[in-house]
Structure 1
């Protein structure tokens, strides 16, 4: 039977990479600051959504994945790399 979870139980593969990129951003971004910047790019997310994504507690849509990749100036495939 197919399950919608990663091997570790997470609901997405990109959460840890997003957290890493956010913290490495110069200057480092808070989850709220990242949500604010994504809203300026047209993506309707809040701090709680970023927190849940990073923890693997929320699915990430393809639209969100594309917006995050564009914001961090990397490919969507790079967000999915372990």
Structure 2
């Protein structure tokens, strides 16, 4: 049987890291602002999608992961560290 969950039982590895980076961002970044930043990069997400990513309820595509890394000026590897 295939297992499509992280070791913590979530649908992505990067959600918790994205939450931390967003909270540490200066100036403060809301989920809505993050969604708008991703939309400007051509990623079709809204505030609710960002919330589901951060909570681990939503899978993250490689394209989205790359856009998130660019937004936070970090690497995809950094976002994938557990």
TM-score (norm 1): 0.95
**RMSD of Structure 2 on Structure 1 (CA):** 0.8
Instruction: For residues 34-74 of structure 1, give each alpha carbon's deviation from its aligned partner in whole angstroms, at most 9, with x where no partner exists.
Output: 10111112111100000000000000000000000111111
Unaligned runs of 5+ in 1: none
Q: Runs in 1 of length 4+ with deviation above 4 angstroms?
A: none
Counterpart residue number, 2:48: 48
Query: Matches of 2:6 and 2:37 in 1, distance apart?
Result: 28
What is the total number of aligned residue pairs between the two structures?
Answer: 82
Report the TM-score when normalising by structure 2.
0.95
Are 2:52 and 1:37 aligned? no
